[in-house]
């Protein structure tokens, strides 16, 4: 594993996977070129950290495909003064990227093991402005709300109401909506204006569905 040049792999990811897929935000590109993705995947998978695919983290959880994550973050229009909620933060990679773009990032993670590993990885990189909190994703994290941006870097059948309620006026939420694991999902941008939340589809994405957020099937005779 030590023979892998992660710096070159990271730069190649940005140039071949990200720039070529309509990502033009220079702050985002710089963050992706700086944050070591390999530090946020299990040791045994670090050799494929920069593959163009979702990487298993265990327990049905995944580190989102780099291109999809980048396009979601770009669509959220993260500003330097923003307060961001990174819901389902997983191993902490998305929070690390966002910390280079926003003022403060709250990384919400329900899985205790992932919360601990993400906190450790973020701490080793000495990233300022990121705090990892453990809690139920359906409840969001009201203590720090309202948020300018909420990132839900996974596929869900629907966005929990609490997350939409915790958006600030003018706030943006991005995620992937997916009802059926056999059908591609659609990345979506939600925007809050006053008390009204609207959303629009962005692009297709095969992002795995977040455990517990699958569509509930109705009764079939």
- 8 A C-beta contact, residue 189 and residue 172: yes
Name the percent of the chain in helix, strand, coil, to the closest 5.
Answer: 35, 30, 35
Residue 1 pLDDT: 40
For residue 76, give every residue at least 6 positions away whose Cβ sits within 8 Å of its Cβ, in sequence order, or none.
149, 151, 172, 173, 174, 189
pLDDT in tens, 49-79: 999 999 999 999 999 999 999 999 999 999 9
Q: 80-89, 93-102, 109-118, 210-219: which has the minimum mean pLDDT?
A: 210-219
pLDDT in tens, 100-128: 999 999 999 999 999 999 999 999 999 98
- What domains does the chain contain, in order, with CATH numbers? 6-205 (3.40.50.150)
pTM, two decimals, is: 0.94
Cis ω for the linkage preceding 146 (within 30 of 0): yes
């Amino acid at each position: 594993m030590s023979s892998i040049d992660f710096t070159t792999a990271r730069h190649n990811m940005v140039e071949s996977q990200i720039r070529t897929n309509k990502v033009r935000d220079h702050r985002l590109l710089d963050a992706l070129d700086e944050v070591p993705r390999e530090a946020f995947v299990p040791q045994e998978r670090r050799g494929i950290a920069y593959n163009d695919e979702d990487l298993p983290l265990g327990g049905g959880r995944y580190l989102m495909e780099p291109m999809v994550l980048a396009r979601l973050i770009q669509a959220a229009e993260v500003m330097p003064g923003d307060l961001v909620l990174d819901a389902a933060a997983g191993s902490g990679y998305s929070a690390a990227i966002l910390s280079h773009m926003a003022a403060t990032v709250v990384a919400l993670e329900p899985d205790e093991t992932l919360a601990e590993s993400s906190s450790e990885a973020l701490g080793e990189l000495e990233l300022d402005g990121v705090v990892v909190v453990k809690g139920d994703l359906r409840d969001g994290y009201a203590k720090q709300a309202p948020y300018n941006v909420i990132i839900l870097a996974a596929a869900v059948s629907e966005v929990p109401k609490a997350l939409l309620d915790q958006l600030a006026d003018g706030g943006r939420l991005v995620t992937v909506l997916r009802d059926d694991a056999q059908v591609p999902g659609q990345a979506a941008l939600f925007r809050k204006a006053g008390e009204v939340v609207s959303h629009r589809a962005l692009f297709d994405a095969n992002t795995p569905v977040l455990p517990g957020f699958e569509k509930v099937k109705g009764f079939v005779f």
